Amino acid sequence: MKNLILPKEYCTKLTLRETQRAIKIIKDNFQKKLARELNLDRVTAPVIVTKASGINDDLNGVERKVEFDTKECNETVEIVQSLAKWKRMALYRYGYNVGEGIYTDMNAVRRDDKVDNVHSLFVDQWDWERVISREERNEEFLKETVRKIVRAAADTQDILCEEFPFLEKTIEREVFFITAQELEDMYPGFTDKEREDAIVKEHKTVFLMQIGKVLKSGKPHDGRAPDYDDWTLNGDILVWNSVLGRSLEISSMGIRVDKDSLRAQLEERDALDRMKYDYHKMIDDETLPLTIGGGIGQSRLCMQMLGRAHIGEVQVAVWPEQMREECSENGIFLL
């Protein structure tokens, strides 16, 4: 298949049962370390929300959501695409203060996502959100939060390798920071993905900042919804995946919009009509707290630490039959 990478002489180092045990080690330990680093409580989260609430994540604004009516509720509901907006509302409703936050196991369906080695219709993340002060809405605070997340991942990797010493450590602790504009200036003739691969191959763990802003080339590095991340204070954590020979995004995160950046970004995207929703009104009148948050891919983190070539080796999902056949022929067993 066109988007499928099939590494030569690929073979897994763990049996299916060992893989399941390893996944549990990663998930159990990482969420504990993440919660400790960022002072987060685990909370339950929705799989469906009402369409009228406007609280579902719009991603790039063009993806179709899975929606349906219900027998008892007289309104249309949607399966979540992520919990970027819901988490901020939850912090307000649950009474969290500055320096405190939440995380949750988020399961979503993104029907329009392409499927390949690292993309699936099913999304599983640790979604997290933390209340911050006005003084913490700055780049240095963002960077320090990124370092804590990477430290939690690297510490988890150490525990995994104690149990399975033949696995390679694939997450470097030191983070290289660069903005999308700086990256475009460095590699002007490259595509967005080629730029990411070039910088991550060199530095191994990279935080690419300021995603969503229009660059000198006239387009943003990548799409971002205008109503949750502040495009000047966000970014992606990228790591080098030697199995696929490319960079792998394991987290998208950022300091969230305040009332000024919300209106500016909605206006830039010609989306001021969203101000009709309660969520947007509560940012505009400063009812909702200032926050930082993001999502960390559970299956992607497992895939990276276990040296797997396909996300379907660590999660159960639906794949095209041709993809299953080609993967099977090349030693890639999709669950």
Amino acid at 164: F
Q: In 281-313, which positions are buried (b, 16+ CB within 10 angstroms) versus exposed (e)?
A: ebbeeeebbbbbbbbbbbbbbbbbbbbbbbbbb
Contact between 74 and 135 (Cβ < 8 Å): no
In this prediction, residue 2 carries a pLDDT of: 77
Pick left, alpha or beta for residue 250 (phi over 0 → left; psi -120 to 50 → alpha; otherwise beta).
alpha
Distance CA(257)–CA(150), nearest Å, equals 23
What are the C-alpha distances in Å from 57 to residues 65, 225, 289? Answer: 9, 8, 18
Helix 298-306 vs helix 16-38: angle between axes, to the nearest 10 degrees?
A: 120
pLDDT by 10s per residue, the chain, length 335: 778 999 998 989 899 999 999 999 999 999 999 999 999 999 999 999 888 877 777 776 677 888 999 888 888 999 888 788 899 999 999 999 999 999 999 988 888 888 999 999 999 999 999 999 999 999 999 999 999 999 999 999 999 999 999 999 999 999 999 999 999 999 999 999 999 999 999 999 999 999 998 999 999 998 888 988 999 999 999 999 999 999 999 999 999 999 999 999 999 999 999 999 888 999 999 999 999 999 999 999 999 999 999 999 999 999 999 999 999 999 999 98
Q: Rounded distance, CA 227 to CA 45, Å?
A: 20
Q: Do the Cβ atoms of 92 and 279 come closer than 8 Å?
A: no
- The whole-number pLDDT of residue 191 equals 94
Measure the CA–CA gap between 248 and 241, rounded to whole angstroms.
Answer: 6
Q: Supply 260's token pair.
A: 């000024």
- Cβ partners under 8 Å of residue 17, min gap 6: none
CA-to-CA separations, 251 to 130, 136, 238, in angstroms, rounded: 16, 20, 7
Q: Note whether 4 and 116 are within 8 A (CB).
A: yes
Q: Report d(CA 148, CA 252) in Å as an integer.
A: 14
Contact 178, 206 (CB under 8 A): yes
What is the rounded distance in angstroms from the CA atom of residue 80 to the CA atom of residue 88?
15
Task: Give the residue ranges of DSSP H helices in 50-204.
Answer: 84-94, 139-163, 180-186, 192-203
pLDDT of residue 49: 87
Q: Cα(224)–Cα(247) distance, rounded to whole angstroms?
A: 19
The residues, ordered by sequence, that sit 6+ positions from 49 with a Cβ below 8 Å of its Cβ are: 55, 56, 77, 78, 80, 86
Q: What is the pLDDT of residue 98?
A: 98
How far is 52 from 10, CA to CA, in rounded Å? 47
Can you give the pTM of this predicted structure? 0.93
Gap between the Cα atoms of 291 and 277, Å rounded: 19
- Domains in the chain, start-ordered, CATH in brackets? 16-329 (3.30.930.10)
| Maximum pairwise Cα distance, the chain | 58
Give the active site residues: 57, 110, 125, 236, 249, 252
Q: CA torsion 94→59→203→194, rounded to 10°?
A: 180
| Whole-Å CA distances, 246 to 125, 149, 332 | 21, 21, 18
